Amino acid sequence: MISVELSPVASQYQHPLVERNRATEEQQSAFQAILKARQQASHLTDKQFLNTLSTQQMMDLIAYHGLAHPVQVHALSEEGAANLLTPPEFQRDIDGDGLVEVGAAKLFVFPPPDAPKEVFEAWAELTKEEQFQINTLAFAKWFIQNREAYLAGDDASYTSIYIGPCTDYVMLVDELLQLIQQQRKYWTFEEYEQQWDTLNKFKKALQRHLATG
């Protein structure tokens, strides 16, 4: 079971997974009640605990996380089960495939949940549109890296574009700059220039925050 502690980053900056969550106060209260029950059942695995929940409690979990489909506990991975019982800002890519599983949903997240606070500080300097651009490019990098496994339906062979907490984010941005150079023929000059400028803006912000962190 994941131990939850208050994150200063999560309280100061909007984490991508937190922004995705649109839970109402009622849904948040229901989720907190489930977390309290989980703490009292620490002898159970996450999947075993999920099997003890009532239909209403499972509906509360689905609503809290904004999931589109009912949860089939027997079909969940350990990561999917663990993240169902975890607030968005603490969810993790446990199996290292570059995706965060919440229930049966698989999410690509940039920056990833385990990025250092300096990365989130730099990320917060971008506009929503700029964040969307970089997230799209990062996902494109992940997809290109995993294209053969995806086409073969081999989810187990997916690999991440991150190296956990040791990820060099400045180098990762350089790789995204290289990617748009390689894919330049697919964009107009204005689109290419906009993405180039956005990536360099993020890179400079990263360098500044990492140097003072």
Residues 125 and 101 grouped into a single domain: no
Is 148 in a helix, a strand, or coil?
helix
Domain interval for residue 125: 117-212
Widest pairwise Cα distance in the chain? 58
Q: Are strands 105-107 and 100-102 parallel, antiparallel or unpaired?
A: antiparallel
Give kind and range of the element (H or E) at residue 106: strand 105-107
* Closest CA relative to residue 62, chosen from 74, 44, 52, 50: 50
Q: Is residue 2 part of a domain?
A: no
**Tens-place pLDDT, residues 141-200:** 999 999 999 999 999 999 999 998 889 999 999 999 999 999 999 999 999 999 999 999
pLDDT band, very low/low/confident/very high, at 5 (cuts 50, 70, 90): very low
Is 109 in a helix, a strand, or coil?
coil
* Closest CA relative to residue 31, chosen from 83, 86, 112, 91: 86
Phi, psi of 163 (to 5 degrees): -120, 50
pLDDT band, very low/low/confident/very high, at 17 (cuts 50, 70, 90): low
How many contiguous H segments (helices) and E segments (strands) does the chain have? 11, 2
- Average pLDDT, whole number, for the chain? 88
What pLDDT is attached to residue 11?
A: 37
Average the pLDDT over 77-99 and give the result.
Answer: 93
Q: Give the tokens for residue 108.
A: 């690509």
Last residue of a domain, one of 50, 83, 107: 107
Mean pLDDT is highest, among 2-16, 21-35, 164-178, for 164-178
Last residue of a domain, one of 73, 107, 141: 107
